[in-house]
Structure 1
Amino acid sequence: MATMLDLESKLNQIALEEEDNQKVKWDLPLKELYKLALAFYKEKSGKAIHLSYEDNLKLIAFTQQAAHGQFDPNTAPQLGVLDVIGRDRRLAWQSLGLVSKTEAQESFIDMLDRLCPTLRPYIEAIKKDKEEKLRKELEEKQKAQELLEQEKKLQEEKKEFEEQCYKEEMQKRQLQDALNQQTFNQFKTYAEKQYPGNPEQQGILIRQLQNEHYHQYMQQLHAQIKFTNASNSDNQSESPIDMDNCVDIAEKDSSILKDEADGKEDDCADDSGEYLIISPARMWTRPDIKNFKQDVAAGSGEGVIHVGHGDTVTVRVPTHEGGTCIFWEFATDSYDIGFGVYFEWTKPVSNEVTVHISESDDEDEFYEDDDDEFGGGDLECGPVQTRASISPNRPPISIIVPVYRRECQNEIYVGSHQYPGEGIYLLKFDNSYSIWRSKTLYYRVYYERLDEIEN
């Protein structure tokens, strides 16, 4: 029976201790607040705070009661005969009687708060510091969580990007295979004429033409989609190219490099399909326009042209047998000018660069029947398509750079293009859109030698 009572008493004591541990004072758990107050008392007593002897006895008694519970003379150690202070402290502790540990802690805090006004600000400062540390910890955890989520998102995006790249690469290969099957015979014929009896060089040229054909074909698709979107009245955003549809289009498209079959005797007609294959040009600008115009003007004067209002100037530059690449530079005084580059697939009779000036209603002969094909009309809109001119009456012409208005009065426009074969480059400087203003054009054109590349 006594055992049951002892067990029940212990259970009640444990319940009370749990309840005491959950008690809150000054927005802090009582146990934590008591530790802070006790540390304050030990640190400041006799320094920042000065208490009477009786007050110190009571405070120490509260600490003994909070630490050990009710005073028990049987377990207390013996005091010396002359230990007056120890005897007084035991009497103060014994006077607390049955006060619980929790009540002793509260009494200690209340008494110290009453005797020392700086206790509460001290506790508040510690509490704010703790809250700040807790806030920083939470922020760091939150940032760590965000970084983890971002990393996870990046990994997912990377995976999706890799999958998309793989899909696009497979679609690109399918499209290239479809285009290569369509153009292989034409490219083979052209390569055999360029490198007779040299299968290795023929294979290299065929692969180069196939790659150029693929890029040209994609440019055509982009140009067609851009033109279609621009012509829509609802001004919808530009549609992306569907590579799956491109494969089907390439397999069905019989208009690119297919009309010119084997068996034609005329070289231009026989190779006109190949003439359409041409790589894009590289174009950039540089700012030293003043020095450039001075250098051009200081020469023989052939690089300075007066382009009248409504006129178009065509600079015909033959490919050089010792060259691999053409370069051009141009600028104007005060106003912009239209500029484009074309390639005429014909064997040059000389290396002489010639300049032809025509009025807007008397354009060069290769534009007479193909204004729409070369983007005639508004220069701001650019070409409708980038297909070469094919006619039995004149050499085929491929578009390298469509005619657009260039702000060449502010900076120098520079460009280059790798020779696609023998022919004549046509550099078009178009002022046909200007009704009143004439333009002064400064230009230079030159080629890159084979020995410069080898060195």
Structure 2
Amino acid sequence: MASECDVSQLSEKFGNFTIEQENTKKIDENHAPTDSLEYGLPLKEVYKLAFNFYKEKEGKAFHFSYEDKLQLVAFSQQVLHGPYLEAVHKLPPLGALDVVGRDRRLAWQKLGQLSTDQARAGFVELLSRRCPLFSTYIEAHRREKKEQERRAKEEESRKRIEAEELIKKNEEEKFVQEQLLKEEAIKRQIQQALNEQTYDQFRKYAEQQYPGDPEKQGNLIKQLQEQHYIQYMQQLQAAQRDPQSNKIESCDKELANEDSKVTDNINSTNQETEEETDEPGLVAASMWTRSDIEAFKQSVSQGEGDGVVRVGHGETVTVRVPTHPHGSRLFWEFATDHYDIGFGVYFEFGTPTSEEVSVHVSESDDEEVDEDLDEDEVYENETINASDLECGSVSVNGMSKPLLHEVVPVYRRDCQNEVYAGSHPYPGKGVYLLKFDNSYSLWRSKTLYYRVYYTH
């Protein structure tokens, strides 16, 4: 009898819950599940958070009524196993006194054919309605997830940018390496051509500076060849920037100044050799070539003065250029039509009486040297007896110096193809002798175009 009374009381106690449960069922059946609820998260994720929240917080942060607990359990069983009638044969039998178990299964049975998503939505709706703290919990989780997604996107974006920059950097490095290899190949070709052109000149100069020392001669030749390449490239770049002949001349002057500085530095390392040769202040000449030969010849032909000379076969033409009182360096440029010609530079110490440039023609180089040393040539405050072959030197400013010095040895130049140019710093007062030698030619005369000037 006691048991029947208890069952009756429990039935009366949960009668209202059954009605409420049926109403909830109707509401849930009319509620279409969605992947994004008011919390801004997928339904499955919200349900999982709600289920964990209920397990962790129930009895601690909040307390549910018995009816609410049965309803939440029914929703969770519907999600886990599906409708009650489809899963009843899998469930273990209940004990005779398991009233709570029967209530839970009854509540589950009342849900009928409620879908899984509708059961999830019913669980979440009931939990949030009975516990306002759940909404705060979900909002905090949503913000944390959003922040994680933002950080993940930033990290992904950063990695993508770094990868793109790395690819771009590798491509740039590869391009630079390819350009360097191309430039190095071009440099070697140009250097080889220039070295073949100037080797004899540099070898003779090195032999004069370091007689009997092949190692030092080789080092000096390498230095001169490297500097000659630098000068050539500077002059070429200057010509490309401004192809006008008058601008080229200005660039050539600047190039020659730079060339003289480096040549002076090279020769400064040879002070001991200069002291041995008793030629203080006499340094090597700077020489270079350029390709604008037609523009040069046209400029010389149209210019003032006698810049075009015909050198007959077997003849040597000497252009005498006195040092200028306001100058410090002599520059020369020359070219020919069709054929090459020999060229060299000498220097006579002494004080010239005239600043005029003169041209002398002789049948042979030996005869011309005799003419150059004619005793009729007069220098201020000095007497040079050229007929006395034993005099050997002249006193200039209290210093005994050889009468005639070789600045550039005479040898044949392919000046029919390029403009040959050079410069030399004044070693003192005197006269430069620019020799254009055609004595080796028995039949051909040469048309010579030349230009000389000085700089401060």
Higher helix share: 2
Structure with higher Rg: it is 2
